[in-house]
Structure 1
Amino acid sequence: MAEQYWIGGFFIDLSRNQITQNKQSQIIAPKALAVLTYLAENQGKVVSQDTLLTNVWPDTVVSPNTLQRSIAQLRKALGDDSKVQIYIKTHAKQGYSLECDVRWHDKASSSKADPADIDCAGDEAVEASLVNGADYETNTTAKPESSQPGLGLMAIVLGIVFLAVMGASYLIPEQTSKLSFGELRSLTATDNKELAGIYSPDGQYVVFLRYSGEFCQNNIWAKNIDTQEESRLTENLGSYGSHSFSRDGKQLVFIESADCNKPITQKQCYKLMSFDFHKALETPQSPSLLMECKNSKIIKPKWLNNSNVALLQEFSNRWKLASYSIADNKSTVIYERQDGNIIDYDYSVADDLIALTSIHHDGHYYIEVLKPDGQVLSSHRIKYPKEIANFKLIYPNFSPVENQLVFSTGRQLFTLSYDGQVSNISLPLDEPMGSPVFHPGGKRMLVIKGHYDSDIVSVPLSRIKQAQSQNLSVLERSILGEDSAILQPDGELIAYESERSGDEQLWITGGKGSRQLSRFPMDTDINGMEWAADGTSLLVNANYALTRVYLDARQQSFPLAYPVAELFQWDSNNNSALLLVRIKGVLTLAELNLASLELRIINDKKVNWADKSESGDLVYIDDMDRFWQSGPAEDLHIEALDGQGRSERRFLVKDNVIYGVNDDFQLWSYALNGDRFELIGELPDNVDYLTDIDQTQLLMTVRVSAKKEVAELSLSE
């Protein structure tokens, strides 16, 4: 089979996993290109789903959704969609066909394209430039030779210059990443969730967290890469965080969190713990306490070469990078920003350097390179390419390539140079992968991959009161996440978020089928959406920016200077939105006037969720799971709801009544006007959170499965 071919003006190069048009190349997943190639080999014929699945995924059981995601990716690359099908046509209950003529590239044949050979609207200039390695000459009319000797000499000189430039282009390295990945294999494929994978300093072990869904806690495990033998390292389940090895590989340090006995400023207390790694390989250990924080949060410990432990510590919504001396039991600040905030950091044992990402006063993201004593060696603004949303936070780690870090945005991998340059280095992945960490040898890399499968369900309120809520009515179901269903005001539609097309998108259902309403780019994050009062549009927080999406798919953007972390509520009549925004790196509750784009700061407390009642009262829950209501002079603590809130679960406010779910999965209500609390009934224990409610029914997101596993990507030779 030919490695290269044309479909219209698109040049497909299987050796590079690329589709190119007008010198603009897109990296496409190999399986998606295999689907396109099989359709190209059967151009004009209807190919059934079963045939495609059999030929593209031989000896592998995959669902039709996998094929549909590949088709969606191809259509996006070719400029098609489900409605305008110029290239790939869907035949209901039959399959797919490629409608454009295909030209297979034979390296021994002439490289010139004949425009008459191409049936679809194409760009032959792209084909010629790709094959010849030079710009295509659009004017092909023959020109007479010049009779002037000077012009001939000039032509020779220009020819020499041209050849020199062309030769230099082969000698100068391309300004792209040197990283290229090949094989992907799972290391911890079990029924549990595994995450936070790292290598031991000798590269022999992978250490990771294994999460127990039954007990909502985890243990730390190790896996011998050569023998595949697994060892549980911790004696008891706990809430353990990311971990780090001492340079000699003898000690492991990590964070453990638990509810404080007497919380003052925060609900959780954080402990820096350690144990002997080699003893733990023989017998699970009870870790030793190094340091405890009751009024600040600590995360992400990294053992430094000087035997101190670096970690991020949060005070008053701002993070500091600190260095903790185990010998002296004392911490010192390595780096902090009063005019911004720290996003993330990583440490290189080999170079004894810290790479840190932060937000500065100008709202932009920067990459700083530091010495462990805090000396800043360089600071550059990160230059985001078009593939990454402007406000998306990134978490880069060191790579084996000099002066380059690596990070993931979900289904794409990138490098980040010390001077802020970002380059796409990999194929779009079939499912999200994050937390890339390189092996000490630099030839392979750990990632955490997996998916979240949830359904949208409806339960009549009468059934909950009769303790019959276990029999749920599923409204929307796929093998991926269906989420955030909300009822159309005075209508029959339900809007929801779904990943069924490969990325988070806005969908609409009326009970008789669904349709995709948005076309947001790859690796989109949706954090909140609300109907307009008239039910003709929705306000969506997609990629940390607000977009109004109409039912006819028209969109209206609202350019805001700050990233929107969460959209809580939209009052379309007063043209205002209740938001959680990131101002100079600090999450802040605010209200936005959508007409003037003026932002009013409400408070500087840590707010986990918020909503407004019909009478305009603000209700929010803080990081200690306490409910508050706006009052005439100050916010009022709703003591009747103490113990009823959970930070990871949303609440609703409808008709001046708050609805929520407590730790015992009981649905409760609280009337703001009458100060009346009521337990309504029991809910299934796989309910993630409530999404909407009316007089007769409750909409919820229920978890079907949540899968994470540690996998390993090998570098291509």
Structure 2
Amino acid sequence: MAEQYWIGDFFIDVSRNQITKSMQPQVIAPKALAVLTYLAENQGQVVSHDALLSAVWQDTIVSTNTLQRSIAQLRKALGDDGKGQAYIKTHAKQGYSLECEVKWHKDAQPTTWQVSNPSPIQDNHTDAALVSKSPITDVKCMHTVHDEPSEHSHDPHPLSRLKRISLPLMLCIIMLMTIGYFSYTAQQRPTLSFSELRALTATDNKESAGIYSPDGQYIVFHRYSQAYCVNNIWAKNIETQQEFRLTKNLDTFGSHSFSHDGKTLAFIQKIDCSKPITQKKCYKLMSLDFHEAIKSAQSPRQMMECNNSEIRTPRWLNNNAIALLQKTSDRWKLINYSVSDNTTEVIYELTSGNIIYYDYSVADNLFAVTTVHEDGHYYIKILATDGHLISSHRIKKPPGIKSFRFITPNFSPLKEQLVFSTGKQLFTLSYDGEVRQVSLPLDEPMGTPIFHPNGERMLVIKGYYDSDIATKSLSPIAQENDPSIIERSNVGEANAVQQPHGELIAYRSERSGEDQIWLTDGNHSRQLSQFPMDTYIYGIDWSADGQSLLVNANNTLVKVELNSEHHPYVFPFQVRQLFQWDSDAHKALALVRVKGIIEFAELNLTDSTMRILTDKPVYWAVKSDNGTLVYLDHMERFWRSGPIEDTIIDALNNQGSDTYRFVIQNNTLYGVNDDLQLWSYSLAENQFKHIGELPKTLDYLTDINQTQLFMTLRISAKKEVAELLLK
């Protein structure tokens, strides 16, 4: 399909989704522009409805109404009211034809030139400044008048001939200078530089999801009290340092957002469904009168409830609507919720792939959406608020960011650049997918960077998590005793698993400054792995002979030998969570993300293939000694594999938890329910047994042997809101 061409006085740039006339670019939906291009390729001919639908909406079933809407949009952009039909003519019961002369860009260069610039917003200004007119001036449809002199015309003035000769040369020189300038400025993009880090909250609680009020006077954040298991929304006056509790003991989830005038706060409340059908948790979009809540804590008002879908990331738009991400089935879509009409409509979704994250710019009235496509690559898309795609570029990750690592960028004060964090590293992301690292004045993880309205400072959430490895004896005599700590530091230790036929315990630890695999024999500990900065480990398991470990590091499976050698397994998709490794069969149970969708699968480590095991969302899974597969689904129900189909384990109803996991030994399951009660269930005898209570500081179970249970205990967890000041 042609990328650039002229229709009368209109310059069409398909690569930028733009129609430009008289220095005024218009952004057009890609499908509408594809309709125009197909008509242009068949200029003067009647193109049937079916031919247009087949050419533009390949492999997609749409009605003729969709085509009519695209025609209407094109006529509006071309200044055609549809009555005179000077550009696009309707042929009743037949189709449409383009009645204007078409000049393809390769055949007729404009008198001013196009400078290729991958940044879409800058493209708007570039088109307006450089596309002053088409090469066909004074054009009337079907009555074209050219401004070039006839080859038989006589020029009586030698000076005018000299001007004609020198003008192309001058234009070439200017063009080269302009291209060179844009090339240089593209390489010299402004970046961020910070001078200091300043703490804004200093309590023993966990603060998260910090944002600024639109006037920049307040910060608003969640504060969770671990001692009382209570979460509330708080505000703090940055100048006076006075704090205000805005809500009364909420179970809230995720981020929140201010209305444009700063009067109302919107957020998501996540609660147990009273009558769960397709999901155990229900999601409510809530609002809060900010100014009233500053005076005294308020009860929020429900705006919308979702019992069969998940919603997150509310962003209040300039038109007083609220954008949200909504998950139905396996995919996320960006939706618009009308506060006044109490209705929703889809803004943007992918039929293949998935949306990862989005942000909204109040100043530019644009969305920045990060997506993963069918090809497994990640893209940054800039959208208008009606969903029209302005630009789409693959994200070019540098070596410091692993290929499967999700990024969640937010708008920044730098022109056409976003900002995101991977933990200890901060990066900018341009609209054309270029990533650059930013120097930071701190050596601890931080996340969710949000800029102040004046662009001179930025909110971040920083903190630490301290957990220990512990064991609890399965002996009836010791059931009432507290777990025994076997590995302790002032950072996170977790995921302890016992070496088969040996005395070693492998676990994950951050004591060296990064997430690494460590080994202990009960007396001495040593670091086994050498993973790079900002590594995240999602599961470890021993080989059957106890001589190596399979580790999910940065969403990639790596075999780590006891001599510290690393052997990665290459899969064309992201491994989200490793459950179990069958080293003899060279297979692993895991959650994977394929084309943006999370699947529960069995991975073949020999040929890098997989087999999807169920279409249900799965939290945790293991296989018993005799090969029976047991998994916990999103409704916290236990399933076991059978010869024909999987069946629910009725005896374990209400015993599942998406938090504490379960382990298996000698065909017996050991798990923890939401009341922190430890239980066992024999798969062979179908017998359920309550064993005892576990401490409230339990994070999750990790392994079991003949005599003891391994677990991770939470010692302390702290997050706080801080501010990075720009130089």
Fold shared per TM-score above 0.5: yes
Give the distance between the partners of 2:617 and 2:286, measured in 1 at CA: 27
Distance 1:476 1:177, change over 3 A: farther
- 8 Å Cα contact 2:197-2:441 kept in structure 1: no
CA distance in 2, matches of 1:251, 1:168: 45
Q: Structure 1 residue 467: deviation in Å?
A: 4.1
* C-alpha separation in 1, matches of 2:184 and 2:503: 64
Q: Does 1:468 align with 2:480?
A: yes
1:547 aligns with 2:554: no
Query: 1:330 Cα deviation (Å)?
Result: 0.5
1:346-376 deviation line (CA, Å, top 9, x unaligned):
0000000000000111011100000110001
Equivalents in 1 of 2:598, 2:493: separation in Å? 27
Residue of 605, 624, 630 corresponding to 1:619: 630
- Alignment match of 2:639 (pick from 611, 628, 649): 628
**Alpha-carbon deviation of 1:429?**
3.5
The equivalent residue for 2:697 is 686
Corresponding residue of 2:90: none
Aligned to 2:249: 236
CA–CA separation in structure 2 for the residues paired with 1:645 and 1:217: 23
SS of corresponding position for 2:475: helix
Following TM superposition, by how much is the alpha carbon of 1:618 offset from its aligned partner in structure 2, in angstroms? 1.0
Call closer, same or farther: CA 1:364–1:690 in 2, change over 3 Å. same
1:141-540 superposed matches below 5 A: 175=188, 177-427=190-440, 429-462=442-475, 466-470=478-482, 472-540=483-551
Matching residue's letter, 1:223: K
- Post-superposition offset of 1:698: 1.2
Secondary structure of 1:634 counterpart = coil
Deviations 1:123-159 (A, max 9, x none): xxxxxxxxxxxxxxxxxxxxxxxxxxxxxxxxxxxxx
TM superposition shift of 1:654:
1.6
Q: CA deviation at 1:393?
A: 0.4
Paired amino acid for 1:180: S
So what's the TM-score if we normalise by structure 1? 0.75
The Cα shift of 1:215 comes to: 4.2
Whether the 8 Å contact between 1:307 and 1:325 is mirrored in structure 2 is yes
User: Normalising by structure 2, what TM-score?
Assistant: 0.74
Q: Name the CA shift for 1:261/1:172 in 2 (closer, same or farther; >3 Å).
A: closer
Amino acid aligned to 2:264: Q
Q: Tell me the amino acid that sits aligned with residue 339 of structure 1.
A: S
* Whole-angstrom distance in 1 between the partners of 2:478 and 2:522: 26
- Structure 1's unaligned 5+ residue stretches are 1-163
- Deviation, 1:556, is 1.2
1:599 to 1:204, Cα distance in 2 relative to 1, 3 A: same
Q: Name the amino acid aligned to 1:469.
A: N
Asked whether the 8 Å contact 1:182–1:715 carries over to 2, the reply is: yes
Once the two structures are TM-superposed, the CA of residue 512 in structure 1 deviates from its matched residue by: 1.9
Q: Is the 8 A contact 1:469 1:682 kept in 2?
A: no
Q: 2:286 is aligned with what amino acid?
A: M
Q: AA paired with 2:487? A: E
Amino acid at match of 1:588: E
Structure 2 Cα separation of the partners of residues 640 and 320 of structure 1: 37
Does the CA-based 8 Å contact 2:195-2:441 persist in structure 1? no
Match of 1:650 in 2: 661
2:286 and 2:300 in contact (8 A); partners too? yes
**Aligned-residue CA RMSD (Å):** 1.7
Q: Could you tell me how far 1:469 is from its partner in structure 2? A: 2.8
Q: Deviations over 1:466-501 (max 9, x none)?
A: 44332x321111111001000000101000000011
Q: Percent of aligned positions with the same letter in both sequences?
A: 61
| Cα contact 1:656–1:672 (8 A) shared by 2 | yes
Give 2:344's aligned amino acid.
S
What residue ranges of structure 2 are gaps of 5+ in the alignment? 1-176
The question of whether the paired residues in 2 share the 8 Å contact of 1:218 and 1:240 is answered with: no
Q: Does the aligned pair in 2 maintain the 1:217–1:239 contact within 8 Å?
A: no
Instruction: Give the Å deviation of 1:174.
Output: 5.1
- Tell me the amino acid that sits aligned with residue 194 of structure 1: E
CA contact (8 A) 1:380 1:419 kept: yes
Query: Hey, what's the Cα distance between the residues in 1 that align with 2:385 and 2:230?
Result: 33
Deviation track 1:641-694 (CA, whole Å, cap 9, x = no partner) reads 111111122111221111111122111111111111111111111011111111
> Which residue identity lines up with residue 589 of structure 2 in the other structure?
L
Whole-Å separation in 1 of the counterparts to 2:683 and 2:441 = 49
Q: Deviations 1:218-262 (Å, cap 9, x if unpaired)?
A: 111000000000001113333343110000101111111110110
Q: Residue 274 of structure 1 contacts residue 287 of structure 1 at CA under 8 Å; is this kept in 2?
A: yes
Higher alpha-carbon Rg:
2
